[in-house]
Amino acid sequence: MAMKIFTKAIINAFKKQGKTGSKSMKDIYIICKLFNPGGAGTWYLYEQEDEDIFWAFVNLGDSVMSECGTVSMSELLAFRGAWGLKIERDKFFEPFSMTLEEVYNKVKAGQHV
């Protein structure tokens, strides 16, 4: 299911980044940004755990409560928000253009990324 929202370049970027558990935030890059076009919710994905589970820094509308964790892509892509809108990929976000540390600091400061 995740293949429908990811390009081949994004899939390859997840493979290139690999496992991030032993890396610091400044050495982990955001691969893909997803958002809820009908409400709160932004997911900054940085690691693929398996076919369905991804690691992400998630902001659900309260920057103070934003955090890193896992997300099920099948659940996320099944979500329908306001007006039946689906979660979308930010097509202008380039893999490896920002580190997790940069995104974390901006979101925690209340800025948009």
For residues 47-63, give the mean pLDDT.
95
68-98: pLDDT as tens digits: 999 999 999 999 988 999 999 999 999 999 9
For residues 16-21, give the mean pLDDT.
97
SS3 content of the chain, % helix, strand, coil (to 5): 35, 25, 40
| CA neighbours closer than 13 Å in the CB half-sphere of residue 40 | 8
- Residue extents of the structural domains in the chain: 2-108
pLDDT score of 3? 57
Q: Are 24 and 53 contacting, i.e. CB atoms less than 8 angstroms apart?
A: no
90-103: pLDDT as tens digits: 999 999 999 999 99
Residue 2 has pLDDT above 70, yes or no: no
Query: Does the reported pTM lie above 0.85?
Result: yes
Mean pLDDT of the chain: 94
